[in-house]
Chains A and B, each alone.
Chain A
Amino acid sequence: MANQYREACHQELEKLVSREPDLDAALLCSVDGLPVAFACDNELETDSMSAMCSSMLSLGDALSIQGGDEGCIQVVTQSRSCTFALIHAGDELLLALMGNRSLKLGMLLGHARKEVEIIIELMAKANTQDRKEKSARLFKNKEPALLEELVNRVVQEAQNKQ
């Protein structure tokens, strides 16, 4: 299930990067800094980038709280050649987008917001599917136990009557 979910996210990120020519990379990782899925035109050190992204967004949240907010919505870093945006994707994930300087900041943030909505939807779908599978497994496992219990009770009742 987790692999299916990762694959769906990966495909979604690939679509985004190929659709927007000024977007160089997209990385989805967990809040504790582990990569989940990514799409990139060039090579990307996903492990270390995920760790750095997680630290950066945590710091952004801590700084916002110091300033009286509940947390930050996005963190943006600009260099001469690129713009980098980080955003929470639900409670457990975060999304990082890297665009070149031709990509306007508003556009980058818009892409990030829309992509997060899609990821949250994928996550909800995966969770529902997971719950269904779990309850089906539980029911399947319980069936023989219930039957055994019933047989035992009938035998016990028969013995009591005698």
Chain B
Amino acid sequence: MAEVGEAPGEDFAPYSSTVIETARKMSQTGDLGDPICSALVLKKGRMLIMAEANVGGDSIYLSILCRKVPAGVQNLIKRIVDCMSETLLGSH
């Protein structure tokens, strides 16, 4: 849908949604509760944080690549989702 910064390209999108779906199934299997987010720890301390959100009844998948985990990641994700909701559904 949208990308900014060091974006890896189109092939990345289907993988990111699959990771989130697999994380959900894994959590169900292990009785770990609903996953809030998943992350890949990459080389040089980089992290790819992935989350799913619901916008107007549709799921959107968000991936954030960071050199250092920002403080308050969940708030950051929430702010991005709010922006997406405003853009897609109009202000609420």
Contact = CB atoms under 8 A, between A and B. Distances in A.
Interface of A: 25, 44-45, 48-49, 52-53, 55-56, 59-60, 62-64, 66-70, 72-82, 84, 98, 109
What interface size band does chain B fall in?
20 to 34
Contact of B26 (A25, A62, A64, A77): A77
A81 B33 contact: yes
B48 A79 contact: no
B12 A67 contact: yes
Contacts of B15: 59, 62-63, 66
B42 A75 contact: no
Nearest to A67: B8
A6 to B, nearest CB: 21
The binding surface of chain A is classed by DSSP as mixed
A118 to B, nearest CB: 20
Nearest to B65: A67
A66 B26 contact: no
Given A59-B19, A62-B15, A45 B39 contact: no
B43 A82 contact: no
Contacts of B39: 75-78
A48 B29 contact: yes
Interface in B1-24: 8-9, 11-12, 15-16, 18-19, 22-23
10 contacts: A59-B15, A60-B19, A67-B8, A68-B8, A69-B43, A74-B40, A75-B40, A77-B37, A82-B33, A98-B32
Interface in B46-90: 48, 65
Nearest to B36: A78
Nearest to A76: B39
A66 B8 contact: yes
B41 A72 contact: yes
B29 A49 contact: yes
Contact of B40 (A49, A53, A63, A78): A63
A76 B32 CA distance: 13
A73 B48 contact: no
Contact of A59 (B18, B29, B35): B18
Nearest to B11: A66
